[in-house]
Amino acid sequence: MKVSGGSSPGGGSSASAEVVPESDSRLPLPDVYDATLIDEARALIKKTRAEWAKETEGWTAYQWTAYYVPALGWLRTYQWRTWLVWDLVAGMSTAAMVIPQGMSYANLAGLPYAYGLYGAFVPCIVYALFGSSRQLVVGPVAVTSIILGSGLENIFGSNDDPNNPADPDLQMRVNHGAVQVAFIAGCLYTAVGVFRMGWITYFLSSATISGFMSGASVIIAMSQVKYILGLKLPRSDTLQGNLEAIFDNIAKFQWREFCMGMAFIFLLLSFTYLSRTYKRLHFLKALGPLSVCIISIALMNIFDWYVPVLPPGKTNPADAKPLIKPIGKIPKGLPDFTAAWWLPLYDVGAQILLAVIICLIDICESIAIAKALARVNKYQLNYTQELRGLGIANIAGAMFNCYTTTGSFSRSAVNNSVGAKTPLANFSTGITILITLLWITPVFTNMSQNVQGAIIIVGVLQLFDWPEFLYLWKINKLDWLVWVASCITVLFAGVEIGIAVGVGLSLVLVIWKTAFPRISQLGRLPGTSVYRSVAMYPESEATPGVLLLRIDAPIWFANVESVKDYVRKSVADQRAVGDKTGEPVRVVVLDLAPVTDIDATGIHFLDDFVDELQEDGVKLVLGNPSQQVLLSLKRANLDHKIGASNIFVHMADAVARAQAVAQAVQKVEAADQV
């Protein structure tokens, strides 16, 4: 122990004549370097360059190329005899699932059926070249489709049937707008990946995402009920809007469509149940959507249900309607080149906002799926490459009539379960869709519309996250509240407002938690030098004449008032107790280990607090401040005001110093009384 005599910079005069010990764990304040922002930026750039140089040391030209085109990396080590069959089978199984799903999701987005097939063709092939996940399957997904459809309707309006639009010019503008949003989203994806800005998704908590998707799943399912009932209804993005439209038109209910649609739903649910219950039948999940499509096409053609028939009592040929409505003609051939559609935007603000919302949701969904698949298959996912690959896939898709695409949970699960080994499975899926576009689309002309309703309804059932609802109720009521608020707002106010409310409520809770941080009074655990909360450990021992407090949060303008009130009240309460017991508070020790940062308002609080304590003859000792806090103290000259000998690395040393100061003050007071 070092011994220091004379007055201490932060001490009162009553203790100045007493010798108190100092600890070797005092912080080396003169050695703390106060770097400028430019110096910090230079240091960060230098560190990043050094890490990058170490990582890429000895790379050949091929390795550099493979970094930007990951397919060159895995193709070089591809085990053709072992993996090729699995990748081809997995890709074709996924294609069997995405053909009916893609057409259904395109209709959900207010776009022609062909756009769903285009979205499963071009992005799949491009992602196979630039993506890093080996099992992730990209393409149209339900949640993105309904967000896009709702956003485009707010900008342009909509047609009842995008495949046979009443206003072709309006539908063409909607199609252009969808491609433009895909281009913007692709640029955002790429930028987030290149500049490593994935942290922006942290504002979307798991409770927000789960609640949003659960609410969206109900809206998506309700929007498809019209195809099961055989009704022609306007589009609505709220639960009450869908219910009102259904009940207002229930008199036009078509029993044939209903029976056929419900049979398809039952069949799809049966396939799903069998695939989950019996591992040997896992392939049924992939075959389910294609099976009901084949059954529908067969029945419609065998019984001529697609042929218009005059209702009883009608003679006008214009009144003729098919017994069960078919989806109609799907354009045959490859997609057009649409890069010329990108600019100028129709509504800059609305389309960019729509692209940002879609990008945030898609990044969270896609990265979560990719991480899970990488963990299961025991390989490391490169997030920068993954986001860059998704961005390039969307930009390439926007060049060929595609709307926004991302990783699909259901199709990725099927791809993985069938045995996909590499992104070649995505390539296989894309080629299968190419063959479909060139030669097979006419087969779908007479397929019933209720098939797409059944496929989407069953597909989105898995998005309603009941287990998470119950889990959050058990674990954290505030997160449960965010889940409920997100879900209910999506149901009754729409998807855009729902995601805004979920994010807003999450941020409010974060601010609330930081505005009222936990502050604990500490005591020493018996027989140790460990200090813990006296509320949690009632057996902990108090230090006579010393008040130990720990602030469990950064100190900033939003919480400084609550910190100030609590600390002042604790000091006053402890002094009142001390006056009764004869052990008044002579030193306050603040454990700053959890305080990662302190702003100017927090510095003002500490400055005033030191003055208040000095007026009452009480000293302040700090334990374990971080470097950032220490720099702030130095910049404000508070290290001199508190005293360099009163700032310590270890709480045990800080308490030892406080005890020595308290005993010295006590002796001086006793001498003064004599």
**Two tokens, residue 100:** 């009916």
> What distance in Å separates the CA atoms of residue 129 and residue 292, rounded to the nearest whole number?
32
Contact assessment for residue 390 and residue 124, using Cβ atoms and an 8 Å cutoff: no
> What distance in Å separates the CA atoms of residue 490 and residue 506, rounded to the nearest whole number?
15
Could you give the maximum distance between any two Cα atoms of the chain, in Å?
121
- The whole-model pTM stands at 0.79
Rg (CA), the chain: 33
- Mean pLDDT per 10-residue segment, the chain (674 residues): 35 41 52 66 85 86 90 92 91 89 92 95 95 93 92 89 90 96 95 80 80 90 92 88 94 93 94 88 81 94 92 80 90 93 94 93 86 86 88 96 92 87 94 93 91 89 88 93 93 87 87 87 90 91 90 90 88 81 86 91 91 88 89 88 88 90 79 66
Q: Classify domain 517-673 at the CATH topology level.
A: Transcription Regulator spoIIAA (3.30.750)
Q: Which of 77, 47, 50, 72 is nearest to 62 (CA)?
A: 72
* Inter-CA distances, 116 with 105, 138, 321, Å: 6, 12, 27
Per DSSP, the residues of 400-451 read: TT----EE-HHHHHHHHHHT--STHHHHHHHHHHHHIIIIIGGGGTT-BTHH
Which pLDDT score is estimated for 311? 82
> What distance in Å separates the CA atoms of residue 472 and residue 248, rounded to the nearest whole number?
38
> What distance in Å separates the CA atoms of residue 332 and residue 629, rounded to the nearest whole number?
66
**Alpha carbon 203 to chain centroid distance?**
7
Listed by start position, the domains of the chain span 80-440+454-509, 517-673
> What distance in Å separates the CA atoms of residue 577 and residue 573, rounded to the nearest whole number?
6
Which pLDDT score is estimated for 286? 73
**What residues are paired with 619 via a beta bridge?**
587
